[in-house]
Structure 1
Amino acid sequence: MAGARKSQKEATRQRVLDAARDLFETRGYEETTVREIARHAEVSVGSVFTTFSSKGDILSQVMADRLDALYAELDRVAPHLRGSTPDRLRSLFAIHYAFETRRTRLFLAHIAAAYNWTLSPASRPYGRDPRLRQMVRDCLAEGVVRGDVDPACDLDVVIDALMASYAWTYRLAAWDEADAQAMSAVMDRHIGLISEGFRARPTA
């Protein structure tokens, strides 16, 4: 009996997530209500709140499920990236753009949630998920070992600058419906500028 209840709860949870993902993408995060999510999932509003504390919590879980697939791909690809540290960073962010532009509006909601002060500490909007930061840090740390990143540079500052550029470039998708290639081209230039601050310089 307990196993059946657990299975039913998991099925309800997945229906809520599927409905929310589609509504956030088609209607927008702000315009979508929990009542609409419940209706599309064919469950009660109470069932939604039994599993999730808020709409923001639902968005966080929707994105976590999507990002699991992305980071599984990156874990596979990252060890095989070639070129200088800036080139490898360009490849990492290009993979992100290619993946997230499959559901651009959903990812824009994910970024916007980073500035929602009402989210619970358990929510994971853009910037709070440590995986992208760690991948960028690993790339920079490898650059230090390879000799093209200044070992004295503050990696946290560099990571913040790269994360900010990545998110800000999404304005092109919101305003101009830019695709992954267009945004990657802009991000490539940002990385070129930022890398001037962290590149290793010959000692006298």
Structure 2
Amino acid sequence: MSVRQSQKEATRKRVLDAARDLFETRGYEETTVREIARVAEVSVGSVFTTFSSKGDILSQVMADRLDALYAELDRVVPHLRGSTADRLRSMFAIHYAFETRRTKLFLAHIAAAYDWTLEPASRPFGRNPHLRQVVKDCLADGVTRGDVDPTTDLDIAVDTLMASYAWTYRLAAWNDSDAEAMSAVFDRHIGLICQGFAPRP
């Protein structure tokens, strides 16, 4: 790696570290690119030579974090047993346990999903293809196993589960709920949602 590349990588790391901490302590809306640059001790121009927007920065912060989560899901999912509802509960319990290590950062990730100025390349919550595919594969396997109606629109089912999952984080924002408490609520959501796409007698 050349000196220039090394400097650029060091700047990128400082920006991501600063942004991660600011998003977690101040929230997505309240954090500005100027503040990220100040905390990272780089110029605003340096931030924009590496990232196109605040949403792009958050997307990269979360992508770097979520690599470990998706590696764990990829390892565990093939070994899950039980009904589709049970397997979904287990998958999302893993997600809760991981995300509640930095709950406010994940709340910032969810908040960014409602930022209408985000560029199409940004990856706020709900736009992550890996998680969506893991959930969709679980549902498709449920069709094969016979506990998901084969006429179910799997993309709509994924959207419904993702929306319900994100909605439970209001409990963290309002009541400081932990992973166990949110999982207990979401488990009931999953049961109700799964009734909707169960095969009809």
Give the alignment's TM-score, normalised by structure 1.
0.95
Query: Which runs of 5 or more structure 2 residues have no equivalent in the other structure?
Result: none
The aligned residue for residue 102 of structure 1 is: 101
User: 2-side partners of 1:68 and 1:118: how far apart?
Assistant: 26
Q: Distance in 2 between matches of 1:193 and 1:27?
A: 35
Q: Secondary structure at the match of 1:123?
A: coil
AA aligned opposite 2:122: S
Q: How big is the shift at 1:29?
A: 1.9
Name the aligned partner's letter for residue 151 of structure 2.
A
Q: Distance between the aligned counterparts of 1:30 and 1:187, measured in 2?
A: 26
Distance 1:35 1:136 in 2: 37
- TM-score when scaled to structure 2? 0.96
Give how far 1:201 is off.
Answer: 3.6
For residues 136-151 of structure 1, the aligned pairs below 5 Å read: 136-151=135-150
Superposition RMSD on alpha carbons, in Å? 1.2
Q: CA deviation at 1:44?
A: 1.4
Structure 1 consecutive aligned stretches of length 4 or more whose deviation exceeds 6 Å:
none
Q: SS of 1:101's equivalent?
A: helix
Equivalent position of 1:39 in the other structure: 38
Percent identity between the aligned chains? 83
C-alpha distance in 2 between matches for 1:199 and 1:72: 29
8 Å contact 2:84–2:142 — kept in the other structure?
Answer: yes
Separation of aligned partners in 2, 1:33 and 1:118: 14
Cα distance between partner residues in 2 of 1:29 and 1:197:
34
Q: In the TM superposition, what is the alpha-carbon distance from 1:200 to its structure 2 partner? A: 2.4
Structure 1 residue 11 corresponds to structure 2 residue 37: no
Query: Which whole-Å deviations, capped at 9, do the CAs of 1:9-57 have from their partners, x for residues lacking one?
Result: 0111011001110111112222222222112212111111111111111
**By how many angstroms is 1:91 displaced?**
0.6
Counterpart in the other structure of 1:66: 65
Q: Is the 2:110–2:125 Cα contact (8 Å) retained in structure 1? A: yes
Tell me the alpha carbon deviations over residues 78-127 of structure 1, each in whole angstroms, 9 at most, x when there is no partner: 11111111000001111111111111111111111111110111111111
- In the alignment, what sits opposite 1:27? 26
- Say which is worse superposed, 11-20 or 152-161, in terms of deviation: 152-161
Q: Deviations over 1:136-175 (max 9, x none)?
A: 1100111111111111222122111111100111111111
Instruction: Name the aligned partner's letter for residue 170 of structure 1.
Output: Y
Q: Which residue of 2 aligns with 1:78?
A: 77
Q: Which residue of 2 aligns with 1:172?
A: 171
Moved more, 28-37 or 75-84: 28-37
Q: Give the distance between the partners of 1:4 and 1:72, measured in 2 at CA.
A: 32
